[in-house]
Chain A
Amino acid sequence: MDLLPLLVIGGVLGVIYTLLSEGFSLIYGVGGILNGAYGALYMLTDYIIFAIFIVWKVPVLAAISLSLLAIFFIALLIQKYVVARGKSQLDVLFLTLALAFVVQYGVQYLQCSSAFSGNCAYPAFVPIFVKGSSTILGVSVNNQQLAADVVAIFFLTGLWLFLSRTRYGSAIRAVSQDKDAAELTGINTERTQMLTAGIGALMAGVSSAFLGSYQSVDPTIGWSIITLAFAIVILGGLGSLKGALLASFILAFAQTFVLLFVNTLLSDFVSLSILILVLLIRPQGIFGREVVS
């Protein structure tokens, strides 16, 4: 059994999973809510990139930047006009899930309507924007996935510095620890939550832009993404950024392991079963229930 491919492929995947799930975890930690629209934001990013790229014929990187900007503001609006309206966790979960369906069917409608492509079967795609592949420890990896890892590591380091060194970061941590106390000290909790929602959406968006080139983009991809992010966040311990990091790698390595050494068909089943078993045996996750730190 050759362990090098496992390490390389699992590691590459784990970094992207981390980026994907930390956004969800951050939103949970600060808002105390499960954002059902997280997957929809992921999906929407790909479609905005596609639309800008096809309609305006701008370079891919410009399209991605515009799309990330758009998704950031969309997330702010959702936080302000949808999430903030919900009275309980349950309301928010249902509202955001309903919103995800609105977005999904809206995109589907646009895609099929004559204004856009006029053909439901015409697939959306995100072009590969970092070409070629390189060999690491004898394992061939696409350059775009490596670029994704580099960007993700920068992003996560930046996030960590932002949370630990800046005033806004302290505000975010304060709100995640105790919202009422944070409000008493003069923190604008509403704005802090909006900022968090925006950052979270950006993280979904960045991973979406990089992963979009490798999967067929359709309006339903958000559901598998949100399931993945949700699973990782629960596995790591709700709202724990450290836990989500660890859980991302565990899941990535487990999936790669089954894929490489056991059976391609079994991959999904094994990773799902591991998750279910962990939940049943240790429901509080690896790092228990702690706040963002």
Chain B
Amino acid sequence: MEEEEKGKAKKEEEKATAPGQNRTFGTEERSADVGARFGLLGKVSFRTARFYLIGVCVIMFALAPVITRNSYYLGTLSTIALYGVLAMSWDILSGYTGYLNFGIAFSFGVGGYAAALVGVHTALPPSMGIFLGGLASVLFGFIVGAPSLRLRGHFFILVTLLVPLATAALLQVLLVDGSIFGVNQIVTNQAYTYEASVAVFALTGVVLYVVSNSNIGLIFRAIRENEIAAEASGIHTGSYKILAFSISGFFAGMAGALYVYANGVASPTMFGILLSAPPVFMAALGGMGTIAGPILGAFLLEGSLDFFRINIISDARLLIAAVLLFVVLLFFPEGIWGAVSSWGQRRRRHKKS
């Protein structure tokens, strides 16, 4: 099924990029009325390697507490889940529409601060705090995203890079140390943090899988391949870009809320470049525009960072992760998932002929 879909998408991409062919317009028209005729979701197949990977990860996360009660390993796993959520939400915007967001820390931070405020000033349960964190992130994301999504390429990269830095600088002025303290009273139960991370991870994985494989995902990809052509074929690209930005912001905001509840403080470091960068690299390492790839990336980059902490090479764990990333990108620019699937395709084609 997946191969069929991919084959179809690939053909369409090839047609769309072939210069000087009248058929290009025909293809665009068809991809536009996909949305109109079959609805926004269309048919989503769940029998794909990508969905299996998401499912396996969720089951693994869910079973982990049965196998080990070691709080260190569980903490590591929930960090991986958190970064997985961030990397996937980065992917749905940047991997699919091609608008590279170098400031996912903005959504992350806004979600975290909103959740901290909700937790400190109201009596709502933490789950509501997490949800409201996501919503706040969508709201602020809209204020920032709507004007900045008009920019393309490097300009969009720069705006997204600067916005979280400016926010952090503003927070330094507004709040003491720029932080909200006292959040550590809200969630003291580590098991709850773990379960919440797994739940958010599962939700993110399934929702983003459905979105990315639906007609909405097709339109996102059309924007990435050729925005003008997509526009010309009647797709209101502006709204779809904002939709992608909002979906991405919602899940990243939830991740931020989780992070705040787990760490007990909302601080300006949440807006830092060292939080914006890892999701980008996880997606690039695993394979952009695949949703499943970023999860792989999160496991490799964050997992290799944390599980080695008890090993002799613990000092070099960050270096090892960086070298791994560099080497993979040097030899497989499409990332792991892309490399494996194109290898699989080549092998199948070889068998057929």
Residues of A in contact with B (beta carbons under 8 Å apart)? 34, 82, 85-88, 90-91, 94-95, 97-99, 101-102, 104-106, 108-109, 112-113, 220, 223, 227, 230-231, 234, 238, 263, 265-266, 268-269, 272-273, 275-276, 279-280, 283
A82–B158 CA distance with the chains assembled, in angstroms = 23
**CB <8 Å contact, A108 and B318:** yes
Given A227-B165, A279-B151: 11 more A-B contacts, CB < 8 Å:
A86-B333, A87-B333, A90-B100, A102-B322, A113-B315, A227-B273, A234-B158, A268-B166, A279-B155, A280-B151, A283-B151
**CB <8 Å contact, A230 and B161:** yes
CB A249 to nearest CB in B, in angstroms, measures: 19
Q: Determine which of A101, A104, A272 lies in contact with B165 in the assembled complex, contact meaning CB atoms within 8 Å.
A: A272
Residues of B in contact with A (beta carbons under 8 Å apart)? 100, 147-148, 150-151, 154-155, 157-159, 161-163, 165-166, 169-170, 172-173, 273-274, 277, 280-281, 284, 315-316, 318-319, 321-323, 325-326, 329-330, 333
**CB <8 Å contact, A105 and B322:** yes
**CB <8 Å contact, B154 and A95:** no
**CB <8 Å contact, A95 and B169:** no
**CB <8 Å contact, B166 and A276:** yes
A239–B326 CA distance with the chains assembled, in angstroms = 27
Cβ contacts under 8 Å, A98 to chain B: 281, 284, 322, 325-326, 329
**CB <8 Å contact, A82 and B330:** yes
Cβ contacts under 8 Å, A97 to chain B: 277, 280-281
A90–B315 CA distance with the chains assembled, in angstroms = 31
**CB <8 Å contact, B161 and A227:** yes
CB A221 to nearest CB in B, in angstroms, measures: 12
Cβ contacts under 8 Å, A82 to chain B: 330
**CB <8 Å contact, B155 and A95:** no
CB B101 to nearest CB in A, in angstroms, measures: 13
CB A257 to nearest CB in B, in angstroms, measures: 16
A87–B94 CA distance with the chains assembled, in angstroms = 19
**A interface, by DSSP: helix, strand, loop or mixed?**
helix
Cβ contacts under 8 Å, B322 to chain A: 98, 101-102, 104-106
In this complex, what residue of B is CB-closest to A263? B173
Cβ contacts under 8 Å, A231 to chain B: 158, 162
A231–B102 CA distance with the chains assembled, in angstroms = 14
In this complex, what residue of B is CB-closest to A230? B158
Cβ contacts under 8 Å, A238 to chain B: 154
Q: Determine which of B154, B162, B315 lies in contact with A272 in the assembled complex, contact meaning CB atoms within 8 Å.
A: B162
In this complex, what residue of B is CB-closest to A34? B154
Cβ contacts under 8 Å, A106 to chain B: 319, 322
In this complex, what residue of A is CB-closest to B333? A91
**CB <8 Å contact, A94 and B329:** yes
Q: A98-B325, A101-B325, A276-B162 are in contact. Are A283 and B155 (CB under 8 A)?
A: yes
Q: A105-B322, A265-B172 are in contact. Are A276 and B161 (CB under 8 A)?
A: no
**CB <8 Å contact, A95 and B151:** no
CB B298 to nearest CB in A, in angstroms, measures: 16
Q: A220-B274, A272-B165 are in contact. Are A234 and B319 (CB under 8 A)?
A: no
A266–B154 CA distance with the chains assembled, in angstroms = 26
A276–B164 CA distance with the chains assembled, in angstroms = 11
Cβ contacts under 8 Å, B326 to chain A: 95, 98-99, 101-102
A146–B333 CA distance with the chains assembled, in angstroms = 45
In this complex, what residue of A is CB-closest to B172? A265
In this complex, what residue of A is CB-closest to B155? A283
Cβ contacts under 8 Å, A105 to chain B: 318-319, 321-322
In this complex, what residue of B is CB-closest to A220? B274
| 17 contacts across the A-B interface (CB closer than 8 A) | A102-B319, A102-B322, A102-B323, A105-B318, A108-B318, A220-B274, A234-B155, A234-B158, A268-B172, A269-B169, A269-B172, A272-B162, A276-B163, A279-B158, A280-B150, A280-B159, A283-B151
**CB <8 Å contact, A234 and B330:** no
A94–B273 CA distance with the chains assembled, in angstroms = 15
Cβ contacts under 8 Å, B155 to chain A: 234, 279, 283
**CB <8 Å contact, B329 and A108:** no
Cβ contacts under 8 Å, A109 to chain B: 315-316, 318-319
